[in-house]
Amino acid sequence: MAALVVVAAAAPALADPDTQVVTTAGALTPDQDPFYRPPTDIASYAAGRVVRSREVTPEIGPLPVPVRAWQLSYRSNDQDGQPILAVTTLLSPTADWTKRGSRPIVSYQAFEDSVGSGCAPSYNIASGNAGELGTGSMVKPDRIAPYLQAGWALAIPDHEGPQAYFGVGRESGLITLDGIRAVQSFTGDRSIGADSPVAMSGYSGGAQATGWAAQLQPAYAPEVKLAGAAVGGMPADLTTVAQFIDGGPFAGFEFAVADSLARAYPSAGIPALLNARGVRDFQAIKGLCQDAILTTFAFHTLSHDATVAEPLAVRTVANALAVNKLGVAAAPQTPIYDYHVDTDEVVPVGQDNATVQLWRARGATVELVRDVIGGHVGEYAKRLPSTVAFLQDRFDGKPFAAG
């Protein structure tokens, strides 16, 4: 079980009742746990500044090496630039880092793909409730083992933010970058620091967050020097993905994104487009994690919940989808490893290919890897070794040749 800890704010030293709390990590969901509550003066904190930290015991099964783990809360920004409190989980091997310099950090964006605070990676890592809540066990030991075996520290942000917005790319990218800032400034683990090399990795919904972070980094966090980023099965164009899965076994993802956009962009007017069935469905999806979403909404068709035949084509809805499309206005400056299976049954490869073309046209260097046959879930496991090899080469400073 997770230990009872006292959490003190890093700064500023003000008389705020939220700056010192006693909680058991993982005992309460984020919407109930004071650790996740922003201080009243959150706007005065610089982006990425640590607000609170607490050591936790990972409850996700056996890991390949002994680690220490912490939750860090920090100031970030939402999609509108307003201050929010975000949380990342730091997993760091206890073995000494014997190579030159500080221990490398990999920001690992899990495929949260959910719409409830109880689905947040930080909560599930600390509580061990992933299976119970139907999160798809997004942070399984085998999915992160190679990173830890390499001796790297892992930062796993709750990139959907405090409102659990699935598909809101800009916010997830900002939270990811600010999580890196927070981890690099954290003094609880002396093997890492401001000079630690940093890379990113994410698959599926986690790849969207990773792609947005890589794309936003040059303007938003130029001091964060990224060695590289790996993205796989990336849903870069939500409109295309929604059209592809509508009415099929993975339609729940479409409904989860629709719910998130309705909450994140009130101007999209999504609730006003719902018929009676739509009102019931959007009420039913509230707070669900990915397994429950997929089970509940399998083979549902979005137009059956709307008063219009093509809800995605409504101008306000299309605008909300458009601002979350990768590759439109910027491109990463760090090397990118982009992998995808051509027969992906969840996220069509074509929209990822189009994004890579946009990135390359703006000067990005991308290694493009396409497997001829396979499935969405299996592709992550298949390409995990080459993902780690790509990141190792970047940390080692080897020349990068895009392909």
pLDDT by position in tens, the chain (length 403): 333 343 433 333 333 435 455 677 888 999 999 999 999 999 999 999 999 999 999 999 899 999 999 999 999 999 999 999 999 999 999 999 999 899 999 999 999 999 999 999 999 999 887 544 445 546 888 899 999 999 999 999 999 999 999 999 999 999 999 999 999 999 999 999 999 999 999 999 999 999 999 999 999 999 999 999 999 999 999 999 999 999 999 999 999 999 999 999 999 999 999 999 999 999 999 999 999 999 999 999 999 999 999 999 999 999 999 999 999 989 999 999 999 999 999 999 999 999 999 999 999 999 999 999 999 999 999 999 999 999 999 999 999 877 6
Fold (topology level) of 4-235+329-395:
Rossmann fold (3.40.50)
pLDDT the model gives residue 27: 83
Q: What is the CATH number of domain 238-322?
A: 1.10.260.130
Q: Is this prediction's pTM over 0.85?
A: yes
Give the pLDDT score at 333. 97
State how far the Cα of 117 lies from the Cα of 46, in Å rounded to an integer: 24
Residue 135 has a pLDDT of 53
118 burial (CB, 10 Å; 0-12 / 13-18 / 19+) is: buried
Q: Which residues contact 15 (CB under 8 A, 6 or more apart)?
A: none
Structure tokens at 106: 């990999």
For 97-107, write each residue's pLDDT tens digit.
999 899 999 99
Return the sign of the alpha-carbon dihedral for residues 389, 391, 396, 402: positive
Give the start-to-end residue ranges of the domains of the chain. Answer: 4-235+329-395, 238-322
Q: What are the helix and strand counts (H, E) for the chain?
A: 12, 11
The residues with which 201 forms a beta bridge, in sequence order, are: 108, 230
